Every structure is written in structure tokens, then in C-alpha cells.
């Protein structure tokens, strides 16, 4: 039987080297993974060095790297879109599942991925392995690209020797998050377009049409009715003092930004958003589904409950919810069950908490949390459909009222003028 020399990383993150005898390379990889190691490089003895094994530094002792010692080009990759992160994770998972080592997979991605940032990222992560670092350590060099949740799941995969499975589940998780985000955004596209058209139409009325009618009414003489006077006065104010309106809008926006930069202001604003009609429901149901789905993914992959709650504190992007989650984690640290810790926070519905309690009592926590995620993803779809149906109706009614007032102001003057002409004859 052929012998294989390998470099891998154990559960503590240290590099280990060794040799083993196996029927073929695939069997050797399975044997390494069975020992809870993450294979970095493998080559058959007596066959020459593989193309990915020409860097002896890979077996060097583990190196710690502070932010000051990050590669100079790491800062060049400031952000990546959700789609690009999904593509990178999906491709890396496919290559690892197909039997490649991490070293080989990153080398392939460096050549395969066409996007310059993804290509550079693959090259830099590959170089990090050459320097003797783990993948999770290298990912921490890119905090604006990879979230703490992503990095910690990769670290859990390295510790358990199941990195390819963790990446596969990350692909599913990223896909679920993207699907939820797309559903919410699509629900707001049509109302936003409708609002833009309505505002543009009113501006055209006030800037061009009403001033033209003003000149016509002035030439015709006679007394104008009150609705027409109000309309002409509004048009004059709009044309003469539009700059004051713009300054007021920018001033209000500036004050809002200053207010929401404070802790109290951010908390108050985020709490208001949660209670806002329509939009608040979307925020809440998106958080319920994402919280349950992410918690299920983390617990299935061996991440402790306390660590999972720490990672979940940031997923909502809502300061009010984040503070409630901090309090929840403290209660769990003090020994409370998660359902009991969440109950006094007032951010989850009773049914969510009751289902969670059942999962804790039956010992099927991960399955129960995933079932909760399925339930609230369906509820989110209902919320999206409801909001996408109601908002256009509300906007149409509001725009119709405003346009109707404009038309009424114009027609009142026309009818008054017509009446005067008839009386004159």
C-alpha cells in the first residue's frame, strides 16, 4: 500500500505532521478527518512533491499575528458583497467536499475566481496557510468581510475536523439570510417607486402647471375661490422658499444622525422602528427567523449556547434588541434556561418561547430551533405579502388625495370663471 505524508491542524489549532498507509489519496483524507484533523496538505511518498507542497513554511510553528502585523494588502479588501461572500464559501465548500485539502482548494480558487477582490482574498488566505496560520485566524484579518459568526463557525469546524461540513452549512445559512433579505427588499421596491412617481407628479403641478394657471387667472380678472387661493399661495411658497425646505430636511437629517449616534438615541430610534406599523413587523419577523436559524446552525456544529448568544447579539442590527440579548446571555450564564432568560426581555412572542421551552425539555434543542425558524420564515413571507399589498394602497390613496386637492383648486377657479362669463351675458 502507498504511504502518504500529510500536514494537518488538530482540534487545538496546532499544525501536526505525520505519515499513514492507505489504499489511495481519498482514503487517506478520510482517515485524517476521522482523527478530527483538518488536512492542509497531503502527498504520496515516492511520487515527488505535489504542486501545492513546495512551501516548507507551512509546517512551521504556529504564528500569532496582531492587527499591526497583518499583511499590508489585507486592508485593501475593505468589503465584499453578500453575493461574493456566498460565492467564495460555496466554491471552497465544494472543493473540500470533492476531496481537496484546504491548501489545494485555496490555490484553485486563486485561479478560478474571476472577481479581482475574490482572487486577491483567496491568494492572501492561501499565503496565511503557508505562514502556518489557521483559516479562522486568517479570516480575522478581514473583519469588514467576515462576521464574527462566520469566523467562529469556521473555527468550530477546524476544532471538530469537519470544516467541509461547516462550510456547507454556512452556504445554506448565507443563502437563507440572502433569501430573507431579498424578500423584504422586494416588498419595498414597488412602494418606493410609486412614492417617487407621486412626488414627481406633485412637483410638476406646483412648479409648472399652477404658475401657468396663475397668469391665466390674472388676465381673466374676477375673484378667485378660497381653494384656488390656497393652491396659488402654496405654489408661490414652494417656488420662493424651496431652499428653506431643503435646509430643513438636511437639518432634520443632521439632528437625527447626531441623536442616533448616542446610545440612548439609537436605542429609542430602534425601539420605534420595531413598533412602526408594517415595517416594524418585517423587522421583528426577520429577526425571529434569523435568530432561530442561526442558533440552530451554531448548536448543531458544537458551538456552546453562551458563545452562540454572544454571536447572535449583533445579527439584528438593532440596538434595542442587542441590549436585550446581552441581558439574556447574562441570565444564561447565571444558570437560567434560554426560554426563561428570553421571556422577561419582551422581544419574542409567547409561541416562540413556548416552542423553545419544549425543545429544552425534550433534549431536541437544535431540531426545535430549526422548526421555529421554518415557522417564522413562513410568517415572514406572509408579512412581506401583506406589507407589499397594503403600502401601495396607502400610497395611492394619499397621492390621490393630494392630486385631487390640486385639481379641485384648479377646477374651482375654472367653474367660477365660467359662472362669471354666463352671468355677464
Q: Which of 13-22, 82-91, 199-208, 359-368 has the lowest mean pLDDT?
A: 13-22
Domain boundaries, the chain: 3-51, 67-146, 176-425
User: DSSP letter at 404?
Assistant: H
The CATH architecture of the domain made up of 67-146 is Up-down Bundle (1.20)
Q: Where are the alpha helices (DSSP H) in 48-162?
A: 82-97, 102-112, 116-130, 135-139, 148-160
User: DSSP letter at 413?
Assistant: H
Q: How far is 287 from 381, CA to CA, in rounded Å?
A: 13
| Interval 129-183: pLDDT, tens | 888 888 888 898 888 888 877 887 787 777 667 788 788 878 887 887 787 777 7
Distances from the Cα of 13 to the Cα of 34, 266, 284, 300, 336, angstroms: 16, 39, 38, 21, 32
| Per-residue b or e along 241-268, where b marks 16 or more CB atoms closer than 10 Å to that residue's CB | eeeeeeeeeeeeeeeeeeebeeeebbbe
* Domain 176-425 of CATH type 1.20.81.30: yes
Same fold flag, 67-146 and 176-425: yes
Task: Give the pTM.
Answer: 0.62
| Interval 77-99: pLDDT, tens | 677 888 889 899 999 988 888 88
pLDDT at site 207:
81
Which residues does residue 42 pair with via DSSP β-bridges, in sequence order?
6
Amino acid at each position: 500500500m502507498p504511504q502518504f505524508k500529510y500536514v494537518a491542524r488538530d482540534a487545538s489549532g496546532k499544525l501536526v505532521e505525520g505519515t499513514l498507509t492507505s489504499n489511495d489519496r481519498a482514503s487517506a483524507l478520510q482517515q485524517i478527518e476521522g482523527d478530527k484533523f483538518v488536512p492542509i496538505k497531503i502527498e504520496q511518498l515516492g511520487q515527488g512533491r505535489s504542486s501545492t507542497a513546495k512551501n516548507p513554511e507551512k509546517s512551521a510553528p504556529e504564528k500569532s499575528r496582531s492587527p499591526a502585523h497583518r499583511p499590508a494588502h489585507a486592508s485593501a479588501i475593505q468589503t465584499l458583497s453578500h453575493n461574493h461572500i456566498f460565492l467564495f464559501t460555496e466554491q471552497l465548500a465544494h472543493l473540500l467536499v470533492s476531496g481537496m485539502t484546504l491548501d489545494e482548494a485555496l490555490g484553485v480558487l486563486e485561479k478560478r475566481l474571476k472577481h479581482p477582490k475574490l482572487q486577491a482574498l483567496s491568494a492572501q488566505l492561501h499565503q496565511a496557510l503557508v505562514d502556518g496560520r489557521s483559516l479562522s485566524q486568517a479570516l480575522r484579518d478581514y473583519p469588514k468581510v467576515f462576521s464574527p459568526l462566520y469566523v467562529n463557525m469556521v473555527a468550530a469546524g477546524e476544532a471538530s475536523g469537519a470544516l467541509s461540513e461547516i462550510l456547507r452549512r454556512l452556504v445554506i445559512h448565507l443563502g437563507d439570510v440572502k433569501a430573507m433579505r431579498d424578500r423584504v427588499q422586494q416588498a419595498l421596491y414597488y412602494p418606493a417607486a410609486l412614492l417617487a412617481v407621486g412626488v414627481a407628479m406633485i412637483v410638476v403641478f406646483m412648479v409648472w402647471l399652477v404658475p401657468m394657471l396663475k397668469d391665466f387667472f390674472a388676465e381673466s380678472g374676477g375673484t378667485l375661490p378660497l381653494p384656488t387661493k390656497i393652491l396659488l399661495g402654496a405654489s408661490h411658497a414652494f417656488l420662493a422658499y424651496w431652499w428653506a425646505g431643503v435646509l430643513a430636511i438636511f437639518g432634520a437629517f443632521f439632528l437625527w444622525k447626531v441623536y442616533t449616534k448616542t446610545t440612548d438615541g439609537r436605542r429609542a430610534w430602534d425601539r420605534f422602528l420595531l413598533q412602526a406599523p408594517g415595517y416594524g413587523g418585517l423587522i421583528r419577523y426577520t429577526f425571529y427567523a434569523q435568530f432561530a436559524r442561526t442558533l440552530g446552525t451554531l448548536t448543531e456544529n458544537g458551538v456552546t449556547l453562551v458563545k452562540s448568544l454572544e454571536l447572535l447579539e449583533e445579527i439584528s442590527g438593532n440596538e434595542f434588541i442587542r441590549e436585550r440579548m446581552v441581558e439574556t446571555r447574562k441570565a444564561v450564564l447565571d444558570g437560567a434556561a434560554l426560554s426563561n432568560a428570553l421571556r422577561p426581555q419582551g422581544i419574542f412572542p409567547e409561541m416562540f418561547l413556548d416552542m423553545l421551552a419544549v425543545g429544552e425539555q425534550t433534549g431536541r434543542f437544535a431540531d426545535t430551533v430549526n422548526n421555529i425558524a421554518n415557522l417564522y420564515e413562513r410568517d415572514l413571507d406572509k408579512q412581506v405579502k401583506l406589507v407589499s399589498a397594503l403600502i401601495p394602497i396607502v400610497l395611492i390613496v394619499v397621492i390621490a388625495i393630494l392630486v385631487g386637492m390640486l385639481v379641485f383648486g384648479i377646477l374651482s377657479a375654472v367653474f367660477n370663471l365660467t359662472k362669471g362669463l354666463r352671468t355677464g351675458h
